[in-house]
């Protein structure tokens, strides 16, 4: 299966901590393998995601980068496709038919003001609706469509906890104490 | 068409300002008519959504409530259905077949810790994946499924700006200066 990675632009710890954390959690839950973050380094994002992965499984990674444009250039050089999420782009229905599904996909998620060079450099500028809403929601819907809803029923390997869906309340299975993690991922 | 309204629980201005704002923006963009917010009153949420609605159209409303449980009781008394989004609930695929599409729908979106009475009171506890991620993303995916993707191509009446989807850059149409808003909603 082709890789999916997210590039989150312009993180500001004072303002964006929770939004960027949600971007990372959504990336993980909806099938991306990791997130590059540009902007000010923020150890708390790392530690939150590490805790989540240790508990709920998977190999998700987060990496701060100083030059997001270099990440994009490298991605394209190695044959990958770059989709930039923006409310000004083409509609996702149309984008779905255009984005090749057999190539690695880098999903660029902006902040407040994204420089025009990102619009130029991206292979596709994609709008999840042309209304202002949320990069967190846009990423979830985009990954849902890009993967054909593969996140539903996805399992994460080496989980220590997992949820048994239930009509009322919380039903959480814990990995047996003589094992380090669920083995059946 | 049945109404869709969101109830956001436990807003804390110091911590949740941006997340609750994103919840409201997603509610608007994905077809809800308004959001009840419980927790500490926060005028900045109101003013942000008022500005968005004045510019981008529609009749979206935000209302702070002191007793969210009363909102739920009243909703059920008047024949509406209540769906509570939680990672512990039944999977959305299953929920879709169970939630009646011809009744008004109240979507309850929690914060960190939702008291068990909400799990009891809701008609459906629905998980958008059983992994930890984001109430913003969960709401977007839930509304996408609940409305059959009706947000795609949705128009908002009385908009002063609207976006013309484009492959590169930003193409925004402004309402003609001799009119108050686009008339063709």
pLDDT in tens, B41-73: 999 999 999 999 999 999 999 999 999 999 999
The one-character DSSP state at A88 is: E
Which residue is associated with the tokens 């969210």?
A: B68
Q: Tell me what pLDDT residue B185 has.
A: 46
What's the mean pLDDT when you consider all of chain B? 94
Q: Is B147 on the interface with A (CB under 8 A)?
A: no
Residue B90, C-beta contacts closer than 8 angstroms, at least 6 positions apart: A165, A166, A167, B98, B124, B125, B126, B127
The one-character DSSP state at B79 is: T
pLDDT tens string A133-160: 999 999 999 999 999 999 998 999 999 9
Alpha helices, DSSP H, located in B30-172: 43-56, 68-77, 92-98, 116-121, 135-146
Q: Tell me what pLDDT residue A181 has.
A: 77
Phi, psi torsion values for A90, nearest 5 degrees:
-75, 155
Q: Tell me what pLDDT residue A176 has.
A: 78
Residue B159, C-beta contacts closer than 8 angstroms, at least 6 positions apart: B55, B56, B57, B58, B175, B181, B182, B185
Q: Is B119 on the interface with A (CB under 8 A)?
A: yes
Q: Where in chain B is the domain with CATH 3.40.1280.10?
A: 4-154
**Mean pLDDT across the stretch A2-27?**
95
Task: Judge whether residue A184 has pLDDT over 60.
Answer: no
Residues in chain A: 185
**Nearest CB neighbour to B25, from listed A91, A132, A163:** A132
User: Does the beta-carbon distance from A130 to B169 stay under 8 Å?
Assistant: no
Q: Tell me what pLDDT residue B184 has.
A: 53
pLDDT tens string B104-121: 999 999 977 899 999 999
Q: Which two tokens stand for residue B111?
A: 């914060």
pLDDT tens string B25-48: 999 999 999 999 999 999 999 999
**Mean pLDDT across the stretch B173-184?**
76
Percent of chain A with pLDDT over 70: 98
Query: Sorting pLDDT into bands at 50, 70 and 90, what band is B177?
Result: confident
Chain A interface, best mutation among B15, B24, B28, B29, by max A CB count within 10 A:
B29
Report A:45-64 residues touching B (Cβ under 8 A). Answer: 52, 56
User: Does the beta-carbon distance from B130 to A165 stay under 8 Å?
Assistant: yes
Task: Judge whether residue B4 has pLDDT over 70.
Answer: yes
pLDDT tens string A54-70: 999 999 999 999 999 99
**Mean pLDDT across the stretch A104-130?**
95
In CATH terms, B4-154 corresponds, of 3.90.550.10, 3.40.30.10, 3.40.1280.10, 3.90.470.10, to: 3.40.1280.10
Q: Which two tokens stand for residue A128?
A: 């999840």
- Tell me which chain A residues have a C-beta less than 8 angstroms from the C-beta of B94: 165
């Amino acid at each position: 299966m082709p890789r999916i990675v997210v590039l989150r632009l312009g993180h500001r710890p004072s303002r964006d901590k929770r939004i960027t954390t949600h971007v990372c959690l959504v990336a993980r839950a909806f099938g991306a393998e990791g997130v590059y973050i540009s902007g000010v380094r923020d150890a708390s994002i790392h530690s939150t995601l590490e805790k989540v992965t240790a508990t709920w499984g998977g190999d998700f990674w987060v990496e701060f980068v100083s030059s997001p444009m270099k990440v994009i250039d490298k991605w394209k050089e190695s044959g990958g496709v770059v989709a930039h999420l923006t409310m000004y782009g083409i509609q996702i229905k149309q984008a779905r038919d255009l984005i090749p599904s057999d190539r690695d996909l880098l999903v660029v998620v902006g902040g407040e003001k994204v420089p025009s060079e990102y619009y130029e450099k991206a292979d596709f500028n994609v709008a999840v609706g042309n209304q202002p809403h949320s990069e967190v929601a846009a990423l979830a819907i985009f990954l849902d469509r890009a993967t054909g809803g593969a996140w539903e029923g996805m399992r994460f390997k080496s989980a220590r906890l997992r949820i048994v869906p239930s009509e009322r309340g919380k039903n959480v299975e814990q990995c047996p104490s003589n094992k380090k993690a669920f083995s059946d991922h």
